[in-house]
Structures are given as C-alpha cells and as structure tokens.
Structure 1
Amino acid sequence: MVPPQQDHDLVYNLRLSSVGPGCVTGSDVIHDLSGLDLTMKLHYLKAVYFFSSHAVEGLTVMNMKEAMFYLLNDYYITCGRIKRSESSGRPYIKCNDCGIRFVEGVCDETVDEWLETDDDSKRNLLVYHRAIGPELPFSPLVYLQVTLFKCGGISLGLSWAHILGDAFSVSNFINNWGQHMAKVNVNSSPALAPRSLTNTAKPEAPSEPLSAKQVNHVGDLWVLANNCKMETFSFNLTTKHLSNLQAKIGSVSAFDSICALLWRAIAKVREGFEPQIITVCRKDPCHDDSNVLGNNQIIRSIKASFLVGESDLNKLATLIANDQDQVCDERNKIEAAVEKDNGCTDYIISIYMPRMDD
C-alpha cells in the first residue's frame, strides 16, 4: 500500500457529486454574458477557507449540501452550462440546473500542520479545479471541495469561473451559504432575473483599454496557453506585518500599500522590463449588492511615469490611492473592445490586483 503521506495522497478518497437548486428553474432560461464577463472567460477565482473543529462541531457534509440546495435556488445561474449562439458563436449560459460540482476529500494532517507547510503546491490539493471546455455543455462553472482533517477541522476550497462574477460575487456566495447553514434569514434572490442583451445598445469604441490584452483564440478550451516556467508563491501577511507596512508608508489603505509593495517587487525582479502599468480592481460603490452576480468591479489602469523598482513605497502607494477618478475606469473601453467581434475575441486582464476589503 502507498502511504498516504506521499504528495499525491495527502488528500485522498475524493468523492464527486453534483448539487443543484432545490426547485426547478424553468425551461429555456438563458443568462446573456456581458462584454466584461467575456473578458474574464480565461480567468478563474480560487479560494480556500479553513475552519477549526470547534467552529464546525456538529456540522456534516449532508448539512452543507442541504443548505446548498436552498442557496442555489437563488444562484441558479451558477448551475448552468456554457453554450454558443448558433448564429454568432457568442457564448451564453443556459440555466439548465446541471449543478455545481461538489467534492469531498480526507486528509490525515491537522489544520495547523497543513498551515505550517511552506510547500505552495500542496494548496492546490484543497481546490478541485477543471478549466471550462473543451465540451462546453458538460463543464461545471463552480467546484466546491470539502476536505476533512484528522483534527475534526475542515477546509472549503472554491474554484469559480470568473465569467460568472467578480471576487465580490464569490464573497457574497460563500457568506450567503454560511447563513443558510446557520439557518439565518437570508436576503434571497441575489441573481434576480437572468441578463438579456437583446435590447442593449453596444458601447461606442473609445481608445483601446490598457488593462485588457487580446490573446490568441482558445476555441472551446478556456485556458490560456502558458509556455513559461512558473511557480506559485504565497505571502502570509499577519496583522503585525500590515501594521509595520502601514507605519512605513503612511495614511493610505492597507490594500494600496500591499499593491505598491508587490508592484515594486515585480519591477525589481524583471530587471529593466519592469511593468509601468498595473490593473487595480475595486468594488463599485454604486453597485447594488442585492444583485451580486456579475463582473461589476471598477477596473482601473494605473501608470507610473518613474522607475518603479527604485521608487519610494509611499510615492507608489499614493499614486495607487489617488488614481481613482472616473476617467481611469476602463470598463466602457473593455466592453467596446469585446463587442467589436460580438464577444468572440479572447482577452485577459493584465497584472490583476482585486481589492477585497471594501
């Protein structure tokens, strides 16, 4: 027998099932994807939430699934599948209640032992992920993995197709699920009605966006080809780290300080090829949280007119914090660029830094 401590067996006994809405959504329900949604088609959001044994005492996988049935009555769009228009080839979501993919796994470590590891590759074992395609009608848009640790604690790993909605949509999805599990009254119907673009005027074509980069067409396998050798590196930021960083930089927010620190670090590593422009995403204060599904975040490109790698952190953070006027919001530019080919051209968002503390 292969001992479970080998890398590929750290999380084992994986069981896959599908969970859909408790009520039938209806026939021929379609959710049209906006230009901003389609810009995000090659992006996926991943998150892992850890809970101690005390926090989940008495909670079973069946309890989680039962709460999910009720949650998905409102988030039924997440249970749909991608299809293409026969006339234009533009992707849309068919709300057919196929469900999200629910994964169960077991780990022989404790939560504390897992968190002490320095091996970033291990973290992928807690998030079951498959890119959309190549058979679009059979590809789930959401994967949710529950891993049971030997201490009684659990982790919840989420893989979310960014085409569904932004990081704030993900946060609301998880929070609402938690409220259903706690049997708290939930503000339902976050998705309201599926979006229709039939009568929506196409945006005018302003200048090309700096934040969106056109890539080679990927067809029906929605993953960006990457020929570079890359590794994942994680930053463990404690309250003390943030306090020290804030003390050095000044009055800007922690988010702006972290962005400045990462921007300068990347610039130093690239040695002469430093990025002069980054993309920062923030929550739109005018957006109604009762309609949480969608890519509604403000997308701004911030350009430095100086050498970033040699810059003062305070100067860099202040540039990020102050560059929030409406002119910098590139959403209309992105929409126009995508709609030129009726949503059939592939884009990615470059150097993407989403703000989650709003």
Structure 2
Amino acid sequence: MEEESLSMISTVVPATHQSDENGVCQLSSMDLLMKLHYIRAVYFFTSDAAQGLSMADLKKPMFLLLDQATRAISGRVRISESGRAFVKCNDAGVRIAESRRDRTLQEWFQQHGCSLEGLVHDHVLGGPDLGFSPLAVVKFTWFKCGGLCVGLSWSHILGDAFSAFDFITKWSQILAGQTHTHTHTHTHAPPKPKPLPTPIHKQTQSPPHNNDPISVKMTTTAGEFWLPTNHAKIATHSFHVTSKQLNRLVTTSTCHQNDAAETSYFGTLSALVWKHVARIRGESEPRAVTIFTRGGEGLEVSAVEASFVVATSDVADLARVIGAERRVDDVAKLVEESGGKGDFVVYGANLTLVDLENGGDVYGVVLNGHKPVLANCCIHGVGDDGVVLVLPAPEGFTGGRMVTVSLPDKELLQLKDNLRDEWGIESLSFS
C-alpha cells in the first residue's frame, strides 16, 4: 500500500492585521444555501515547473494574497443568536498542508489517473469545532521526480468554482513576481494584484406561476460536520472525450446540420451522461436536472425537466432541453423561510450539470512559466443524484473536453462500462 508522508500543517494569515477586529461578513441566502458544499481542485506540474521552488517560496505569496483578498477567506464561521451563520473576519488565515509521495508523477498518473483522492486536504467545516475550521486549505504534494501537485479545498460559502480558480491563479501570479524578483535582483517589485471580487450570485425571481424550487432539497448533516448525509457512497471519475469523439457525438445524435452548429459541447456531453444515468436507474430515471452556469453577474442556478422518457431519447433532444430557456429557481427563498438555519443540498439534489468551460480559466495557474499538465475539479458534499462537470481538456490531449462525474459508486461503474462500450470514451490516460 502506498504511503503518504505528511510533513507539516501550518496556517498563513494576511500580511497586515486588519484594524477592525470585530469585522464580519454577512453571508447571503445563496451562500448559506451552499454551506454543505466544497470546491476541490488540483493542478499537476512537472519538475521543470516546480524547479527551484521551496515551501517558503510557495507559502509567501499567500500572505500577500490574503492581505488583498476579501477578508472572509481568512475568517471563521460564527453562529448568531438567531441561528444564522456569518463569517467573523478575524484574520485566522487559511491552512497549508505539505506532503510527499514516494513515486514519480508519471507513476501516479498510471495508477490514479487524474483522481483528486489524497491530493486535496480532507477539509470540512464543523467537527470538531466549527469556530476553528478554516474556510480554505491548500495542499502541496511533492513527487519523487520533483513534480508538484497544488490541491485546493474551498468552502462554497466563499464563492463558486470560478472564485476558487481565481484565488489560486492570483496566488501563482504573486509567486511569479517574487520568483522574477529573486532571479533579477535589480528589477522593480511586481505590482500588487487586484483584489479578489466579492462573489455575486444572480438571484432572478421565478415567474409567479412557478412552484417551489425543484433544484434544492432539505437534508440532514453528518453529525457535527457541515456535510450532507447520503444513502449511497459517492465516487468520482474523470473521462477524456477527444475532439473526434465530440464531433461524432454531435453529428450522429443530430438530424440536421443546423442542429449540430447550435449544440454546445457542454449540452451534448451533459445530455449523454443524463441519458445513460437514466438507463441505469430505470423507472426512477431523472426527468429533472439542475444546471449551473456562470453568467455575467455571477452564479446562475436553473432547472429543466424533460417531458419524455429520457433513457430512450436521442442525445440531441436532451441537449436541446438543456439549451432551451430554463426555469430559474428562486432557491434563496428557502433559506429565508428557514430563518437562515436550514440545511440544504443543491449539487446532487437532482442530477446536476455544471459548465466549467466558460467564465474563468481553469488552466490559469502558472509556475515558472509552465501551465499545469493537468487540472481537475470536483464537488465535495454531493447529494445522491450526482454531479457532472464539463471542463477543458489538458493541452496536448488532442483537444476535446474532460468530464468529471460524481455518482453512487455502483452507478458510476455501469456508466464507465456504457461510455466505453458504446462511444469508446475512456478514462483520462497518460500512457
């Protein structure tokens, strides 16, 4: 069994202490709705990218970034007398973990693919003490070859996946400036990056004839942890869909060329997984799905519902349902109705489709001028109905897309077999 050497866990705080020690960040209803969910992201770098970097080099930019980011990232959750959670901006900082693996990056890929398992700190708010739980944890994992993985666990109350990507990207930008300064001692200090934007969540009112939101379910938490309970074990797996396979999917599942031109890859890939999950579940097939997209004003949560049998439908028909005008659920009202104290699951309340292609640069993190050879993302705290994330494929992988799916483990095994047998879609391979 492979062993991990966890050498150190530390905390990084903002470079300058804030003057208002009683500062707070009030969480919006949308933030509280997402409080049981976490963004987990990993970035793999070769030895060339990580060459010359020490842990001190990697940690130093975090002090500066936290100094300029919204103070909530360094804060801790508190519960008001009314029972509503908020963030006390007490500069408690983010957690940093350092570990080492006794194998090369190539050996890791051959055995684990692009799995996030073990490369992101197992970070959940709550137990043993909510008041001491960091809202973000960064884990640096060194490989025997000198390669490096940067893993981020990000509480969704801080913002969506693109907010998490932006955080790590800005960290690498500060690091690049420091490295440049260390190498050329006579250059000017790098300009400070712009502050992280405060996440804005679009809350469009539902039409009067809409019923209660269908994209959210109330849940119970797992003991003292801010984590939804599940009836099944959720597993995660990533697939690589090549450009050739994408073109085949679009052309073979559409009747007219105009349909192919108007069909997004996100819609097509989501429709493909939706159909196969419906076939696996049989009579309990998911007719309604939740869709996450990144609009100009922030996170948009919407829902669509098929009026026909999903399992026997054409992928193009499902793609058109996904791309059609969606019902935008007034999900925030549920939080207000609970007085801010309710526990909800959104990702996985229905089969949830997340578009991570547009709205931010997944591959924006750069070390020593090198982009990651692979970046991946998943959601922690997924409900039993599962989540499908569509991301750009790594450079050098003949284009295409990467699809990361979290489902009950038995369903995920069947999905892997079905996609391989019917479409030739395999796990992401580095051989």
- Deviations along 1:293-314, one digit per CA (max 9) or x if unpaired, are xxx3110101111111111111
What do the CA deviations read for 1:196-223 (whole angstroms, capped 9, x no partner)? xxxxxx9999731111111236675211
Aligned to 2:265: 254
Q: Within 2, Cα distance between the matches of 1:233 and 1:46? A: 14
The one-letter code of the counterpart of 1:347 is: F
Q: Which moved more, 1:258-267 or 1:179-188?
A: 179-188
Deviations 1:106-140 (A, max 9, x none): 012111221122578x6321111221113211111
Residue 272 of structure 1 pairs with residue 283 of structure 2: yes
Matches within 5 A, 1:263-302: 263-285=274-296, 287=297, 296-302=298-304
Checking the alignment, whether the CA contact within 8 Å between 2:76 and 2:90 is kept in structure 1 is yes
Aligned to 1:23: 16
1:124 paired residue among 117, 120, 144: 117
Determine helix, strand or coil for the equivalent of 2:87. Answer: strand
RMSD: 2.5
Instruction: Supply the AA of the counterpart residue of 1:262.
Output: V
Helix, strand or coil at the partner of 2:47: coil
Q: How does 1:1-358 map to 2 (within 5 A)?
A: 6-7=1-2, 9=3, 11-25=4-18, 26-75=20-69, 76-86=71-81, 88-118=82-112, 123-134=116-127, 135-183=129-177, 185=191, 187-191=193-197, 207-216=211-220, 220-249=224-253, 250-251=260-261, 252-285=263-296, 287=297, 296-324=298-326, 328-330=327-329, 333-349=330-346, 350=349, 351-358=351-358
Give deviations 1:66-92, integer Å, cap 9, x for gaps: 111111112231111100112x11000
Call closer, same or farther: CA 1:116–1:203 in 2, change over 3 Å.
Answer: same
- Cα separation, 2, equivalents of 1:218 and 1:35: 21
What is the CA–CA distance in structure 2 between the aligned matches of 1:343 and 1:85, rounded to whole Å? 10
Residue 391 of structure 2 corresponds to none
Match of 1:198 in 2: none
Name the stretch that deviates more: 302-311 or 250-259.
250-259
Structure 1 residues 220, 93: closer, same or farther in 2, change over 3 A? farther
Contact 2:76 2:92 in 1 (8 A): yes
Q: Unpaired segments of 5 or more residues in structure 1?
A: 1-5, 196-201, 288-295
Q: Residues 139-169 of structure 1: CA distance to partner in whole angstroms, max 9, x if unpaired?
A: 1111111000111110011111111111111
- Shift of the 217–117 alpha-carbon distance from structure 1 to 2, 3 Å rule, reads closer
Percent pairwise identity: 34
Distance 1:228 1:30 in 2: 37
Given the two structures, how large is their TM-score scaled by the length of structure 1?
Answer: 0.85
How far did residue 44 of structure 1 move? Answer: 1.1
1:176–1:186 Cα contact (<8 Å) kept = no
| Alignment partners' CA distance in 2, 1:243 and 1:105 | 41
| TM-aligned CA distance change 1:51 to 1:161, over 3 Å | same
Q: How far does residue 238 in structure 1 lie from its aligned partner after superposition? A: 4.2
Is the CA contact (8 Å cut-off) linking 2:10 and 2:97 kept in structure 1? Answer: yes
Structure with the higher strand share, 1 or 2: 2
Distance 1:319 1:66 in 2: 48
Q: 1:63 to 1:241 in 2, by over 3 A?
A: farther
1:219–1:16 distance in 2 versus 1, CA, 3 Å: same
Q: How far, CA to CA, are the matches of 2:293 and 2:236 in structure 1?
A: 24
**Structure 1 residues 78 and 148: alpha-carbon distance in aligned structure 2, compared to 1, 3 A threshold:** same
Residues in 2 aligned to 1:110 and 1:217: alpha-carbon distance in whole angstroms: 38
Q: Report if the CA contact (8 A) 1:81-1:95 is conserved.
A: yes
Cα separation, partners in 2 of 1:111 and 1:246, compared to 1, 3 Å: farther
Aligned equivalents of 1:54 and 1:39: distance in 2? 42
Change (3 A) 1:136 1:262: same
Which residue identity is paired with 1:182? A
How many residues matched? 328
